[in-house]
Amino acid sequence: AAIACANVAYAQEEHRNDCAAPQTEPLISGCQLLDEFMAAFNAADPVTFAATNHYPHVRITGPVTTIWNTAAEYEASNPREGFTNKGSDTKFKGWVRSAWAWRELVQYSDQSMHFTVSFDRLDAEDKPIASFESLYILTNRDGEWGIQARSSFADIANGGAY
C-alpha cells in the first residue's frame, strides 16, 4: 500500500530535474556521483557500485534498515549474480535496468547534499515496470563525495542493496 501511495504522489506532483544540466558545485559533483551509482548498478559491477558509497552506508526500505560497515561487506551482499538475475524477481518480472526519472537537490552544504529522487525499473523495451521515490544523502569526506545513506520504498531485491 505504501508503494501505491508513493506512486500516486509521483504521478500527481511536478518535480524539477536538477541533474538535467547542472551548472555549479556541489550539484555537478552530486549528479555525477548519482550517475556513477546508476551506471555501476546497470553494469552489474559490484566493486564500482560499492565505491560510490561512504561507509558505514545505511539503506532504509520501509521497516528494514541495513548497515554496511565496509565496501567489502557491501560487495559481498551485492554479487554480480544478484544484479543479473533481478529480472526473475516475481514482483518485477522483466526488469533489465533502472534509470533516474528526476533528481532534486533539496538541501546542501559543502559537506552534505540531500537529493529527493525518483527512479524507474525498466523492461527490455525501456517501459517502466515500477517507479520509486527515494532520499539519497551524500557526504563529502576530504574532498570526496560518497552516498552515505538512502531511504526508499523499493524492495531489497535478491537480498542485496538494489
Read off the pLDDT of residues 84-118 as tens digits, 9 standing for 90 and up. 666 565 667 888 999 999 999 999 999 999 999 99
Q: Is 129 exposed, middle or buried (0-12, 13-18, 19+ CB in 10 A)?
A: middle
Does the structure show a pLDDT above 80 at 144?
Answer: yes
Chain mean position to CA 22 = 19
- Of the ranges 5-14, 50-59, 112-121, 130-139, which one carries the lowest mean pLDDT score? 5-14
In the chain, the amino acid numbered 135 is L
Does the structure show a pLDDT above 70 at 6?
Answer: no
Query: Percent of the chain, pLDDT > 70?
Result: 81
In this prediction, residue 79 carries a pLDDT of 78
Q: What average pLDDT score do residues 63-89 get? A: 81
